[in-house]
Amino acid sequence: MFPSRTAAQITSAKTMISAAASAAATIVLLRSLVREYLPRELRSYIFYKFETLINSFSSELTLVVEEYDNLNHNNLFEAAELYLEPIIPPDAKKLKISLTKKESKFSLSLDRYQEVVDTFNGATLKWKFISKQGPMKYVPSSDNFNSIPISEDRFFELSFHKKHKDMVIDVYLKHVIQKSKELKEDKRSLKLFTLRHDRMSGEGEGGMFGNRWIFIILLHLIR
């Protein structure tokens, strides 16, 4: 009796595994056909609808934080970049590292499709960085006098349980913005201190008395 029951369970499990494998193979085949024969706009629409259908059965909500909003810089995107840098886990598998001419320390940021998990007021929040090639567009430069060509769409996906929606929008995102401002001020102070130190040690032009950075630091401190 027991061997027969065990054999039936094994057969049932094999049937389920076979059905799952067949379904997965079908999905892969359909995605390949869609990518090969359908226009990009129609593909994007189909994938969007499919993702929406899957998400309708999930308790998770995702907010999309794009780098640009109608060709204007999205301040929340910049705030998220600054906020996430110090909480990137030490065991992260893939990161981007940079050092600009105006900075004295390396900056770390998420590479494509990498995640950072944050906790706030008992909620677990997952940040994922996405970068995709898109149509060419021209966005205003930082001086607002010129336009910069961009063909890359960059955005963060912030995912969390739906029950935390109000808390995330009303409290957490304000916390992210405030914390990013503090981090930005810290970086600015460190940069100005480094420049002032170089000039006072005689490495810069003009020596100590010709040091224009002293004025900048004092101006920065009294604001």
Rg (CA), the chain: 25
pLDDT value at residue 40: 67
Of 109, 120, 116, 115, give the one whose Cα is nearest residue 175: 120
Q: Do 69 and 164 belong together in one domain?
A: yes
- Indicate whether 203 belongs to any domain: no
Could you tell me the pLDDT band of residue 174, with boundaries at 50, 70 and 90?
A: very high
Sequence-distant (≥ 6) Cβ neighbours of residue 38 within 8 angstroms: 46
pLDDT in tens, 189-221: 665 555 555 555 555 444 444 444 444 444 444
Q: Do 138 and 109 belong together in one domain?
A: yes
pLDDT value at residue 39: 76
Q: Do 136 and 120 belong together in one domain?
A: yes
pLDDT value at residue 17: 76
Mean pLDDT across the chain: 77
Q: Do 73 and 165 belong together in one domain?
A: yes
The neighbour count for residue 152, using CB atoms within 10 Å, is: 11
Please give the model's pTM, rounded to 2 decimal places. 0.59
- Alpha-carbon span 190 to 183, nearest angstrom: 11
Q: What is the mean pLDDT of residues 106-117?
A: 86
Q: 193: which 2 tokens?
A: 């201190």
Domain span at 106: 59-176
Q: What is the mean pLDDT of residues 23-50?
A: 71
Of 126, 120, 128, 115, give the one whose Cα is nearest residue 167: 120
Q: Do 84 and 48 belong together in one domain?
A: no
- Indicate whether 117 belongs to any domain: yes
Give the total number of structural domains in the chain.
Answer: 2
Could you tell me the pLDDT band of residue 71, with boundaries at 50, 70 and 90?
A: confident
Last residue of a domain, one of 176, 193, 218: 176
pLDDT value at residue 215: 42
Q: 97: which 2 tokens?
A: 């590292």
Q: Do 73 and 7 belong together in one domain?
A: no
- Indicate whether 73 belongs to any domain: yes
pLDDT value at residue 210: 47
Q: Do 89 and 151 belong together in one domain?
A: yes
- Indicate whether 188 belongs to any domain: no
Q: Which of 43-52, 66-75, 159-168, 183-192 has the lowest mean pLDDT?
A: 43-52
Q: What is the mean pLDDT of residues 95-110?
A: 76
